[in-house]
């Protein structure tokens, strides 16, 4: 029975926090971007209420909360009856609407203009453009419903041919037609340089920068709020315990968080970390412990390439080491299979006592496998004419990654390890 209740509570906790970490639930209040929130809200409100056309760009690094800011603003805006009844919204994404033709169809569809039947938009590209422009032109400031265009990944729209869509949207926003608000979201700081001069002139040059610079204590506070359960949580006692948790006071936890903070300050990476912690919470362990956080952090920071090395056969690993040696000797010049094979043979002759020579085809097969894993890549992909043995390759790994992998490689022969280390030491002594 008790387990049952605890199980229920656990599900609740998971629900609430996962929703928060997956960004499905908007925060009630934005932190650190109140000014931007106000600016954007005012701007959109003027469009919705006064019918004033506007254009604005929201610029900020990835994970800075640009979309969240816009969503919050829209949520607050739509609380107003006047705005809610009037505002039409069109959401476009540069990754989805890869050219103006698709974008136009999508706009027409979302506006439910009259050439839309069901979910299909009829007419050619030119007709659609003419139709949309005509529709917008017919409107005027006071009588038509304002339209909000949200262009996610705005910079990608700037790569469309002639920037026709942007020109027209901005042109509408600068002329006495149907009121529109064009909100572009981008992470590129140089986005204005992408705009063609006529398009640029029509853009209002309003940019909202989301460049927050929280200090570490603020960051800790943010972690705390992100992890806290809301007051409306059914089991008050549990909620109390959970929220009183002293996770953030732990030294090791603070170290881990500091490391994360140093790496990046954005929400998204933090949520990733916390999500990993949360998934370790279960009925038997109803709280996040420092160990969970450490483990999660370790997972976050693992090197993916080094992980891949663990799955290689010993021959492939030997080839990698041979390549590393070649890189050391030739200062990063590219190599081919023959060179690697020779290097490997040298090792076999001189130092090896656990390894034996392999047939050329076997070596070739291992080499191709490494290429498929993209641990090595050909210098120029066009050189397909040359025989595969002589095709020049580059190693895609850093030395540190190889060494790290070797340390962790299960049952790695010591002579191989030594071979790998030897040249490193040699090099280091050479440098000294």
- Give the CB-side neighbour count of residue 161, counting CA atoms within 13 A: 5
Residue 143 as a binder of other proteins (CB under 8 A): the answer is yes
CA 335 – CA 395 distance, rounded (Å) = 9
| Residue that has been written with the tokens 């938009």 in this structure | 121
Residue 200 as a binder of other proteins (CB under 8 A): the answer is yes
State whether residue 374 is helix, strand or coil. coil
Residue 404 Cα distances to 343, 367, 376, angstroms: 21, 21, 18
Within 202-231, the residues that bind other proteins by CB under 8 A are 202, 204-207, 209, 211-213
What is the closest distance, in whole angstroms, from the C-beta atom of residue 61 to other proteins in the complex?
Answer: 5
State whether residue 229 is helix, strand or coil. coil
What is the closest distance, in whole angstroms, from the C-beta atom of residue 51 to other proteins in the complex?
Answer: 4
Closest CA to 141 of 166, 115, 176: 176
State whether residue 396 is helix, strand or coil. coil
Residue 52 as a binder of other proteins (CB under 8 A): the answer is yes
Within 77-116, the residues that bind other proteins by CB under 8 A are 82, 85-86, 88, 100-101, 111, 113-115
141 within 8 A of 51, measured Cβ to Cβ:
yes
The helix (H) or strand (E) run that includes residue 46 is none
Residues constituting the chain: 432
Q: Which member of 141, 280, 289, 417 binds other proteins (CB under 8 A)?
A: 141
Within 225-284, the residues that bind other proteins by CB under 8 A are 259, 261-265
- Nearer CB in complex with other proteins: 160/341: 160
- Nearer CB in complex with other proteins: 98/174: 174
Residues ≥6 apart with Cβ < 8 Å to 19 = 25
CA 31 – CA 4 distance, rounded (Å) = 37
CA 222 – CA 392 distance, rounded (Å) = 50
- Nearer CB in complex with other proteins: 17/121: 121
Give the count of residues interacting with other proteins (CB under 8 A): 96
- Nearer CB in complex with other proteins: 71/377: 377
| Token pair in block for residue 121 | 């938009």
- Nearer CB in complex with other proteins: 229/273: 273
What is the closest distance, in whole angstroms, from the C-beta atom of residue 312 to other proteins in the complex?
Answer: 17
Residue 329 as a binder of other proteins (CB under 8 A): the answer is no
Q: Which member of 138, 159, 224, 285 binds other proteins (CB under 8 A)?
A: 138
- Nearer CB in complex with other proteins: 40/317: 40
What is the closest distance, in whole angstroms, from the C-beta atom of residue 417 to other proteins in the complex?
Answer: 20
Within 372-431, the residues that bind other proteins by CB under 8 A are 374, 377, 394, 396-398, 400-401, 404
- Nearer CB in complex with other proteins: 51/290: 51
- Give the CB-side neighbour count of residue 420, counting CA atoms within 13 A: 21
């Amino acid at each position: 029975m008790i387990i049952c209740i605890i199980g229920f509570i656990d599900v609740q906790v998971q629900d609430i926090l996962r929703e928060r970490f997956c960004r499905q639930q908007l925060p009630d209040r934005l932190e650190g971007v109140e000014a931007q929130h106000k600016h954007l809200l005012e701007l959109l409100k003027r469009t919705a209420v006064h019918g004033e056309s506007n254009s604005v760009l929201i610029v900020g690094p990835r994970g800075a909360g640009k979309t969240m800011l816009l969503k919050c603003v829209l949520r607050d805006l739509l609380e107003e009856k006047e705005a809610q009844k009037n505002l039409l919204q069109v959401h476009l994404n540069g990754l989805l609407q890869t050219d103006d033709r698709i974008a136009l169809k999508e706009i027409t569809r979302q506006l439910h203009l009259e050439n839309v039947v069901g979910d299909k938009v009829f007419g050619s590209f030119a007709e659609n453009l003419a139709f949309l422009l005509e529709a917008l032109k017919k409107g005027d400031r006071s009588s038509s419903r304002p339209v909000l265009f949200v262009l996610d990944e705005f910079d990608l729209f700037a790569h469309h041919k002639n920037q026709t869509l942007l020109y027209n949207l901005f042109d509408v926003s600068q002329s006495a037609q149907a009121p529109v608000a064009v909100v572009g979201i981008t992470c590129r700081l140089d986005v204005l340089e992408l705009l063609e001069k006529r398009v640029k002139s029509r853009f209002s040059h309003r940019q909202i920068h989301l460049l927050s610079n929280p200090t570490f204590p603020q960051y800790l506070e943010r972690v705390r709020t992100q992890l806290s359960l809301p007051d409306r949580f059914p089991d008050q006692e549990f909620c109390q315990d959970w929220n009183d948790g002293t996770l953030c006071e732990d030294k090791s936890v603070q170290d881990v968080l500091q490391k994360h903070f140093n790496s990046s300050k954005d929400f998204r990476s933090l949520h990733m970390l916390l999500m990993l912690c949360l998934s370790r919470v279960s009925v038997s362990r109803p709280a996040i412990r420092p160990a969970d956080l450490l483990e999660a952090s370790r997972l976050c920071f693992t090197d993916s390439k080094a992980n891949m090395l663990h799955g290689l056969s010993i021959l492939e690993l030997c080839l990698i080491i041979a390549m590393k040696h070649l890189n050391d000797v030739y200062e990063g010049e590219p190599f081919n299979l023959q060179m690697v094979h020779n290097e490997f043979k040298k090792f076999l002759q001189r130092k090896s006592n656990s390894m034996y020579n392999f047939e050329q085809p076997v070596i070739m097969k291992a080499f191709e496998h490494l290429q498929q894993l993209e641990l090595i890549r050909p210098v120029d992909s066009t050189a397909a004419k040359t025989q595969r043995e002589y095709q020049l390759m580059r190693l895609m790994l850093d030395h540190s990654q190889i060494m790290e992998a070797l340390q962790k490689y299960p049952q790695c022969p010591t002579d191989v390890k030594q071979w790998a280390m030897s040249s490193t030491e040699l090099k280091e002594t050479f440098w000294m």
